[in-house]
Amino acid sequence: MACAGNRRSHTRKVYSSVKGVNWDVGAIGNNKYTGVLLRDLLFDSGLITKDDITSGRLNKMHLVATGLDKDFQGEPFSSSIPLVRALDPDNQVTLAYLMNDKTIPGDHGYPLRLVVPGYIGIRNCKWVCKLEISDEEAPSCMQRRDYKWVTETDWTKIDITKYESLMGNV
């Protein structure tokens, strides 16, 4: 799992307009997570059916995960991924309760962590207390304002709502 800011300090040497914490190398980790596949959880609960998949109804939906932590403004942390990502059996999106065959440590998301292989760390919500299916992305600043791939270098010309949220590792 990698933070989108891994090596940001190196990137900033080339692209001075890059925003965010000045991470060096090391904002990355490699762990084994064990848990319940989100796909199985959604099907077994009856929230999603095979007909929902074939109808295409879910193509614009999002899986929103909310954690017990708060952002810098005191709002609950939330992050989302496209629902079809969670439903694709090849992606192995997991609601994890073990890390390296042990209870997930508190600073890594105990008791539950959403693990989304191939997606940036911010989409792997820690301390999960709520999962929702929504027709909108998560409302948090980490989804709607930050973690965007912005190509414009003049920040006075940017309407951040016009840029897509980062998902995959960068």
Distance separating alpha carbons of residues 141 and 113, to the nearest angstrom:
19
Q: What pLDDT, on a 0 to 100 scale, did the predictor assign at position 73?
A: 83
Per-residue pLDDT of 125-139, as tens digits, reads 999 999 999 999 999
Higher pLDDT, 57 or 84: 84
Judged against a pLDDT cut of 90, whether residue 105 lies above it is answered with yes
Of the spans 52-56, 147-151, 163-167, which averages the highest pLDDT? 52-56
Q: What pLDDT, on a 0 to 100 scale, did the predictor assign at position 170?
A: 47
- Segment 93-102 mean pLDDT: 98
Per-residue pLDDT of 8-65, as tens digits, reads 666 666 666 666 666 666 667 889 999 999 999 999 999 898 888 888 889 999 999 9
Q: Are 71 and 17 spatial neighbours (Cβ–Cβ below 8 Å)?
A: no
Average pLDDT, the chain: 85
Count of alpha carbons within 13 angstroms of residue 29, beta-carbon side: 12
Q: What domains can you pick out in the chain, each with its CATH number?
A: 1-30 (no CATH), 31-147 (3.90.420.10)
Judged against a pLDDT cut of 60, whether residue 169 lies above it is answered with no
Diameter over CA atoms, the chain: 50
Q: Are 69 and 128 spatial neighbours (Cβ–Cβ below 8 Å)?
A: no
Higher pLDDT, 166 or 86: 86
In the DSSP assignment, the letter for residue 164 is P
Q: Which of 144, 115, 110, 143 is nearest to 129 (CA)?
A: 110
Cα separations (Å) of 69 from 32, 107, 128, 135, 147?
A: 23, 11, 9, 23, 18
Instruction: Return the sign of the alpha-carbon dihedral for residues 41, 131, 122, 168.
Output: positive
Residue type, 155: W
Judged against a pLDDT cut of 70, whether residue 3 lies above it is answered with no
